[in-house]
Amino acid sequence: MAATAAAAVLSSGRFYALIGFEIHVKLATHSKMFSSSSSAPAQTTNSQVTPFDMALPGSLPYFNRTCLEAGIRAALGLNCQLNKISHFERKHYFYPDSPAGYQITQQRYPFASNGVFHYPLLIKKDKLKSSTKYKFVDNQNSFVIKQCRIERIQLEHDTGRSIHDDHQNRTLIDLNRFGTGLIEIVTKPDIQSSLEGESFLRELNRLLIKYNICEQSGLETAVRVDANVSLHRMNTKPDGNRIEIKNLGSFIDVRQAIDFEIKRQEQLLTNNYSIKNETRTYDTNKYQTIHLRRKEDQIDYRFMIEPNLPPLYLYDDNDKHIYGKNFVNIDDIKRNIPISPLDERKQYLDKYKDFLTAEHLHELLRLDMIDYFRDVMTHLDNNHLRHIALEVLLSDVKSISYDGRKIRKFAQAVSPILFADIIKHLEKRIITRFSLYTLLTLCNKSRDSTRSLKSFLDEHNMYAINDENELEKICLKILEENPKQIDRYKTNPKKALEQLHTSVCKKYHGRIHDDLVNDVFKRLLDKRIK
Amino acid sequence: MLSNKTTSSAVRSAINALQHYKVLNTLTNDCFDKALETEQQISIEKKNNSPLYGRPILIKDNFCLRDTLTTCASKMLANFRAPYTSTIVQRLIDHGCIIVGKTNMDEFAMGVASWGAFGPVANPWSLTKTTMTNVENNKTVLHVAGGSSGGSAAAVAANFVSIALGSDTGGSIRNPAARCGCYGFKPSYGLLSRLGMVALVNSFDSPGFFARNIDDLIFATNAVAGPDDEDATLLSKPFENFKTSNELSKEKKKIIIGLPDDYDVNTLSSEYRLCWQDLVHRLTETGEYTFKRVQLPYTPYSNAAYTILSSCEIASNMARYDGIKYGYHTKNIDKNKDTYEDILKKTRDESLGERVRGRILAGNYYLLEENYDKYFVQSQRVRRGVMNDYKKVFEEDKIDCLLAPVVSNDPITLAEYEQADDIFSEDDIFTVGANLAGLPALSFPVRLSSKGFPIGLQLIGPFLKDQELLSTAYRICSTYQFPFLDLTKQI
């Protein structure tokens, strides 16, 4: 298993890894970065193409303001310095999905640089105990917060889409995607393991969605990651060489690719080979990285200032005397930006300090349940209910959602309102704690997310039996069916009650309150003895 | 305007002239039928009072016109029909201009002979040289018309049309205007939209007009100048129309004209230098002009900077021609062997001319990572030096405008041009400066040479002082009469 192999390499004390990311984020804007066509995804092939998008002779780019605003939000969220003057450049290479023969980007003069991003390290709860190995730990109850420095953020556009038709030996080009706005975030190699890498990317993903920089679903569609990995012997200085792994499309791929690389490079170093610059790609089927091109084959992109776009000037409150109404003011954007995910979580700790600990929050984060938790909390109006809700989330929901992997589906099927309703019913003892797993599973499986709780309870008869008389009848029946236990009660009352409890729960699955039924059995049995 | 007027239509006259003088090869393709139709239409529904209303015009074949061939005189675009119309052309159409055809040029606007894939434009003055015939085939010897907007210049100079649209990147309006004997105006960079004009060098390209009098230049420029929300390199403030000769105040202030020493080069022929000097003397005698010699020390380096910067942008702009989306695509494909790169190479090799390929090669060399600072960035510094030279002369020395040559000698014959090996012309030194600095410049015919070819000079003005430049030109040109050619009289 690559993960354990890599972990072994890193914890051996003989090596350390330097990992950096180049992250391409699709901006959530209505139109493209340099043309007016719509940037909506999944439209009819080649239906969103202006003259500029197909590089018609005589076409010109015109910069989209909302792309700049989204970029500035990203820069602010990543604590970057905003460069008040930046330039667009052309990056030249020939490829069918690049109609002009160049991409417009910001190579030498990006609009933002020198930032830092803090992110919580996501470890499974049981491993937290051994977290003394990691830096930045205050105590076991707080998050392990790490940081990664941001080298730069640049504005650029996406390419078209190539569809390889091996059947007819041809490649088809769809230019709908060409020209849609991107930012590329380049980090410094501060990441030291695949776990850190994944944690960083997940927190970045939260930020990008919260700040409305990219569309939902993060790493799956709106974000593409290239990872730079280099392994070094402990106490040696890095020589700048690194392996670039291109186009990782999911968190899992990123982790596996990094782990594979660490192990692969360890082999090379152990056998006295040095790491030379190389570009590799990740094979998702074989879980390995594969060579793509060497440093000597690296392409010279012949970067040149884009002559059709003037320099990009950014303004702030200090420049009020210069700028016009139409210009973008960094300070305006700063004032309107939402709270960061990190700060928001701090707020939760404070707001719900009666029952929420850092460890809880960390687990919610690891399970990707923070947003769901937040929404559920707003539908419950006292801390007692909220505490119950938290407990259910971290047990039943954690299990039903496969340790958070299917949480998105769960959140869609079981809306926060429905979940809150369930908790309220639980608190009122209309349903029992034991029925929750079944109930939540049923709701999760249901395709109709608008069904009321009542309809589920009715259909599957999941109401708790609260009527004493009815309960007595049931218990009497059970006693009749289990005469052995009546006798047993005389000698081993505890065991007998346990067995009776098991029997009644088997029969009335989930509808029995523990405390109630125990009292009834005791009463009946005591009566019998007398 | 009554539609049953029997006077010959202006469009019909233009068409007749163009067809009669096919030998000059001024057009790449024509819009004759559509033009006649349009003339009919707009004579009925008179929409506005523009001085251009109903005028037949020609546009250089590097401007896109919807559903019309826009070839840039290249095999690569020989079958390209633009799905949209350039802003400038649309504005002309909105003013009532009738487009009769697209004019011939150098391939992709590179060159000074207007000799692209469809053969050369011939200088209309060649046809007046009845004494010059080719001994072998008894045909009239033809001469170059200048370039790259030669077709437009020749057509206006010969009076086929009164106004034609061209483009000037390194002198491509001023050069053919001087060679053919008409006015050629390149406005300040940032006044006229380049949307729809096939880019050669984005930083230097400027649309501009040819005409037989300065007022027509003004009418045409007024019709098209001003912001376009699709061109980010334009000035954003609204355009104020230039005033024509009638509208200007009659008060004549004294004009100080600079004579750049650095343009007085060895290659300038004595005849052409004399023309320059004679004009200076004549104007001095009127008492309304003062002349000062001025220095533009960066001039000797301007050609090199222009060459490097233009090659870089050209290599970049030409990267889009791959035959996949539009344009020429090679038919010579080996389905079993050829990769994408192979097909790309063949397509471009087969359809782009030698001069174009040479510029692309040079540009790609200069843009290599290891060369960028040495060549591209250094050239930008020289460019700034050129700009500062002009600025200093205009601001510190209080010069209103400069008077300089445009070409150094009579045009050579087409046969001689074919033999020659030059990629760049020595005459570039006169014209590239205004492109590097984005300044307005106007070429005007002065007199005929001893061999009977027009000798032209140019005025170069400060940035955005186009109005003053046009007024000065008007004043200068009204002190003498140039014998404009009119080939239509002989039809």
Q: What is the pLDDT of residues A24-67, one digit of tens each?
A: 999 999 999 999 999 988 889 999 999 999 999 999 999 999 99
Partners of residue A302 in chain B, C-beta under 8 Å: 315-316, 364, 367-369, 372
B1 — contact with chain A (CB < 8 Å)? no
Averaged pLDDT, A514-527? 85
- Average pLDDT in chain B: 94
**A134 band by pLDDT with thresholds 50, 70 and 90:** very low
Given pLDDT bands bounded at 50, 70 and 90, which one contains residue A465?
confident
> Across the interface, do B325 and A51 touch by the CB < 8 Å criterion?
no
Helices (H), ranges, B352-427 = 354-366, 378-391, 414-419
On whether both A456 and A472 belong to a single domain, the answer is: no
- Residue B436 has what pLDDT? 98
Nearest CB neighbour to A55, from listed B86, B312, B320? B320
pLDDT at B468 over 80: yes
Return the residue in A164, A302, A323 with the most chain B beta carbons within 10 A, the one to mutate for interface testing.
A302
Kindly state whether residues A436 and A478 are assigned to the same domain: no
For A141, A185, A312, the CA distances from A110, given in Å and listed in that order, are 40, 10, 10
In a domain, A84, yes or no: yes
- A173 sits in which H/E element: strand A170-174
* CB-nearest partner of B232 from A61, A101, A304: A61
Per the structure block, which two tokens stand in for A31? 């139109």
Of A55, A169, A310, the CB nearest to B232: A310
Domain count, chain B: 1
**Segment among A249-263, A510-524, B183-197, B361-375 with least mean pLDDT:** A510-524
Residue ending a domain, choose from A460, A485, A507: A460
If asked whether residues A166 and A293 sit together in one domain, one would say yes
CA distance B119 to B144: 11
Share of chain A above pLDDT 70, in %: 94
- In a shared domain, residues A164 and A222: yes
What CATH number does the domain containing B216 carry?
3.90.1300.10
Q: Domain holding A498: CATH number?
A: 1.10.10.410
Residue A168 lies in a domain: yes
CB of B72 within 8 Å of any CB in chain A? yes
In chain B, the percentage of residues whose pLDDT exceeds 70 is 96
Model confidence at A126: pLDDT above 60: no
For chain A positions 48-87, those within 8 Å of chain B (CB to CB) are 51, 54-63
How many Å lie between the alpha carbon of B264 and the closest alpha carbon of chain A?
Answer: 32
Strand partners, B115: B120
Tell me if chain B has a CB within 8 Å of the CB of A41: no
Q: In B314-339, which positions are buried (b, 16+ CB within 10 angstroms) versus exposed (e)?
A: bbbbbbbbbbbbbbbbbeeeeeeeee
Same domain, A242 and A297: yes
Cβ-nearest to A60 among B194, B203, B318:
B194
Whether B197 and chain A come into contact, CB under 8 Å, resolves to yes
Identify the band that residue A477 occupies on the pLDDT scale cut at 50, 70 and 90: confident
How many structural domains are present in chain A? 3
Mean pLDDT for chain A overall: 88
> Measured between CA atoms, how close is B143 to chain A, in angstroms?
31
Hey, is B462 helix, strand or coil?
A: coil
> CB-based contact (8 Å) between A307 and chain B?
yes
* Cβ separation B63–A300 shorter than 8 A: no
Same structural domain for residues A208 and A192?
yes
A374-406 pLDDT, tens per residue?
999 999 999 999 999 999 999 999 999 998 888
What are the residues whose beta carbons fall under 8 Å from the beta carbon of A58, sequence distance 6 or more? A51, B63, B64, B70, B82, B86, B194, B195, B196, B197, B198, B199
Instruction: Give the closest-approach CA distance of A273 to chain B in angstroms.
Output: 29
Above 80 in pLDDT, residue A446? yes
Longest dimension (CA), chain A: 103
Q: Please report which residue ranges of A352-492 form alpha helices under DSSP H.
A: 358-366, 370-378, 383-392, 398-400, 407-413, 416-427, 436-445, 453-460, 468-481, 483-491
Show the tokens assigned to B32.
Answer: 């004759």
Model pLDDT for residues B87-129, shown as the tens digit of each residue? 999 999 999 999 999 999 999 999 999 999 999 999 999 999 8
Are the beta carbons of B232 and A308 separated by less than 8 Å?
A: yes
| CB-CB under 8 Å, A55 with B367 | no
Closest-CA distance of chain B to residue A312, Å = 11
Nearest to A60 among B231, B312, B324 (CB): B231
CB proximity under 8 Å: B 398-457 to A: none
> In the sheet that B401-405 helps form, which strands lie side by side, from edge to edge?
B27-30, B98-103, B56-60, B163-168, B206-211, B183-186, B441-448, B454-460, B401-405, B255-260, B289-294
pLDDT at A129: 44
DSSP B117: T
Q: Which residues of B touch A57 (CB under 8 A)?
A: 62, 64, 70, 72, 77, 80, 82, 198-199, 320
Q: Could you give the residue numbers annotated as active site of B? A: 60, 148, 172
Q: Is the pLDDT of residue B173 over 60?
A: yes
Q: Mutating which of A32, A37, A60, A97 best tests the B interface, going by the most B Cβ atoms within 10 A? A: A60
Q: Mean of the pLDDT values across residues B343-360?
A: 96
Q: What is the mean pLDDT of residues A170-196?
A: 94
Mean pLDDT of B468-489: 95
Name which of A60, A90, A301 is nearest B195 (Cβ-Cβ).
A60
Chain B residues in contact with A308 by the CB 8 A cut-off are 199, 202, 231-233
Residue type, A418: L
Instruction: Say how far residue B293 (Cα) sits from the centre of its chain.
Output: 28
Give the pLDDT confidence score for residue B400 in this predicted structure: 96
Q: Is the pLDDT of residue A130 over 50?
A: no
Q: A109 and A258: one domain? A: yes
Domain boundaries, position B28: 1-491
Cα–Cα distance measured from residue A62 to residue B166, given in angstroms and rounded to the nearest whole number: 24
User: Distance (Å) from the C-alpha of residue A99 to the closest C-alpha of chain B?
Assistant: 6
Provide the pLDDT for residue A136: 36
pLDDT of residue A8: 83
Residue A498 scores a pLDDT above 50:
yes
Quote the pLDDT of residue B249.
Answer: 73
* Cross-chain residue pair B364–A302, CB shorter than 8 Å: yes
Asked if the structure places residue A77 within a domain, the reply is yes
Q: Percent of chain A at pLDDT above 90?
A: 53
Q: Which domain holds residue A414?
A: 341-460
Instruction: With CB atoms and an 8 Å threshold, state whether A102 touches B70.
Output: no
Percent of chain B with pLDDT over 90: 88
This prediction's pTM: 0.89
Provide the residue count of chain A.
Answer: 530
Return the minimum-mean-pLDDT range out of A78-92, A250-264, B161-175: A250-264
The answer to whether the CB atoms of A304 and B198 lie below 8 A apart is no
Partners of residue B320 in chain A, C-beta under 8 Å = 55, 57, 99-101
Q: Which of A242-256, B242-256, B457-471 shows the lowest mean pLDDT across its residues?
A: B242-256
Do B86 and A58 count as a contact with CB atoms less than 8 A apart? yes
Q: Is the model more confident about B5 or about B416?
A: B416
Across the interface, of A56, A60, A309, the residue whose CB is closest to B230 is: A60
Name the pLDDT band for A132 (thresholds 50, 70, 90). Answer: very low
pLDDT band at B3 (very low <50, low <70, confident <90, very high): very low
* Consecutive H or E run containing A146: strand A145-157
Contact list in A for residue B72 (CB cut-off 8 A) is 57
Kindly give the pairing relationship between strand A181-187 and strand B98-103: unpaired
User: Looking at the partner chain, which of A57, A300, A307 has a beta carbon nearest the beta carbon of B203?
Assistant: A307
Instruction: Report how far apart, in Å, the C-alpha atoms of A35 and of each of A30, A63, A178, A303 are.
Output: 11, 7, 10, 21
Average pLDDT of the segment spanning B248-262: 88
The answer on pLDDT for A240 being more than 90 is no
Query: Could you tell me if A56 and A169 lie in one domain?
Result: yes
**What is the predicted pLDDT for the residue at B133?**
66
- Pair A163, A61 in one domain: yes
pLDDT tens-place string over residues B69-88: 999 999 999 999 999 999 99
A46 at interface of B, judged by CB pairs closer than 8 A: no
Distance CA B93, CA B228 (A): 16
Residues A118 and A266 in one domain: yes
- Please give the residue of chain A at the shortest CA–CA distance from B229: A62
Classified as helix, coil or strand, A40 is: coil
What pLDDT is recorded for position A146? 92
From the list B379, B364, B373, B383, the residue with the least C-alpha distance to B317 is: B364
In the stretch 209-238 of chain B, residues with CB closer than 8 A to chain A read 229-233
User: Of the residues A412, A433, A460, which one is the last residue of a structural domain?
Assistant: A460
Q: Same structural domain for residues A105 and A59?
A: yes
H/E segment holding residue B303: helix B299-317
Three-class SS state of B229: coil
Tell me if A316 is assigned to some domain: no
Across the interface, whether the CB atoms of B326 and A56 are under 8 A apart is answered yes
Provide the pLDDT confidence category of residue A323 given band limits of 50, 70 and 90: low
Q: What are the beta bridge partners of residue B165?
A: B59, B209
Quick one: pLDDT at residue B308? 97
Question: What integer pLDDT is reported at residue B62 of this predicted model?
Answer: 97
Average pLDDT for A220-244 = 88
Contact of B328 with chain A, judged by CB distance below 8 Å, is answered with no
